[in-house]
Structure 1
Amino acid sequence: MPDDALQTTEDAPIKLGELTNGLGFLIRIAQVKLFENFFEHLGEYGLKPGEFTVLWVIGLNPGLRQGTVANTLHIKPAHMTKLTGRLVERGLVSRATPADDRRAVRLSLTPEGQKFVDSKKDAFLNHNFDEKEALSPEEAEQLISLLRKFTGLNACP
């Protein structure tokens, strides 16, 4: 995009200049756009994107330590504690503290949590396809591939 790229608003065109060449800026704007789209289409489920992500990861890895989930998903420990607390309050996640390591907190989906993930996974996962509507299937695959490479998630199953 040229240096004099414009963003149209209700007030007037806004010059963004070289910002539109910045990876961090573009990823942040893309994230905001995706979150807005998420809440517009999936807000009825009462979860934020990160909360469903945590439920998904716990469902695939029952008994995983809370700190490991936080580290893997780059969630700050204090935020992870609050997020987990909300999911426990909703009855979707259970916490267990092993007798041999009182500092560890292991997370699992409750039966209600597993049922929720199973019944909502298509809506949440298919939502990812809606995110790509501005791209051709080939462009979407290329973007996903580049983001996996950039984030170091190439080797993740």
Structure 2
Amino acid sequence: MTTRARATSKPRRAPSTEAPDLEPTREIDLGGLNINVGYQIRRVNARSITLWEELISGRGVAWGQYSILKFLSKNPGLVQKELAAIAGVDQTTLVPVIKHLEKAGLVDRQRGAKDGRNVHIWATAQGEKLLTRVDSLIQVHDRELTLNLTLEERETLLTLLAKISGLPTGPAGDAPA
């Protein structure tokens, strides 16, 4: 006998932007994962992805695509190799992302006049417009993600993460407050 799930007419509840209350009914041995940097980063990344989905998903850009567009907006004409390096991916991973963004009208590519092997990439006006719409949501995302931190703790966290990731530290420019 086959059992089928019944469809319900109840509306789905919107996901909460608050961390779930996971109060266990008994003490759980975390096996040292609570002091494992990689595990903590994985948990924060999972929380970040959940917030992204709630706030930004459906706006026409994924997290990786947003960062590529942001780099191109601030550094017009980047060579594909430079873009891959700052994005922390290899060029073979970057190519399909760029092709997708180009097909969506968000970026333009052009071979270099002096060296045809170099492909220069720019955010289009449509890409810039998308960034403008999403940037304020990115600020909300960051505020929600670091809600339990003081401003000083947030700055310390960013400094430490930059050390781990190899990104430069320094003036935040138009980074979320």
Give the corresponding residue for 2:152: 138
Shift of 1:152: 3.3
Note the residue ranges of structure 2 that are not aligned, 5 or more in a row: 1-21, 172-177
SS of the counterpart of 1:44?
coil
**Gap change, CA 1:67 and 1:156, over 3 Å in 2:** farther
Displacement over 6 Å in runs of 4+: none
Q: Cα deviation per residue 1:76-118 (whole Å; 9 max; x = unaligned)?
A: 2222101111111110000111132222111101111122212
Q: Would you say 1:65 and 2:79 are equivalent positions?
A: yes
**What RMSD over aligned residues (CA atoms) do the two structures have, in Å?**
2.3
Q: Which TM-score applies when normalising by structure 1? A: 0.83
**Gap change, CA 1:22 and 1:102, over 3 Å in 2:** same
SS of the counterpart of 2:157?
helix
In the aligned structure 2, how far is the partner of 1:117 from the partner of 1:24?
30
Higher helix share: 1
In the aligned structure 2, how far is the partner of 1:87 from the partner of 1:55?
9
Q: 2:64 aligns with which of 26, 31, 50?
A: 50
**Gap change, CA 1:91 and 1:13, over 3 Å in 2:** farther
Note the residue ranges of structure 1 that are not aligned, 5 or more in a row: 1-7
> Which amino acid in 2 is paired with 1:39?
E
Shift of 1:20: 1.8
Q: Would you say 1:86 and 2:125 are equivalent positions?
A: no
Residues 55 and 137 in structure 2, CA contact (< 8 A), matched pair in contact too: no
Q: Which structure is higher in RCO with an 8 Å CA cutoff and minimum separation 6?
A: 2
Q: Would you say 1:28 and 2:47 are equivalent positions?
A: no
Q: 1:150 aligns with which of 164, 167, 170?
A: 164
Give the corresponding residue for 2:129: 115
In the aligned structure 2, how far is the partner of 1:105 from the partner of 1:17?
48
> Which amino acid in 2 is paired with 1:30?
V
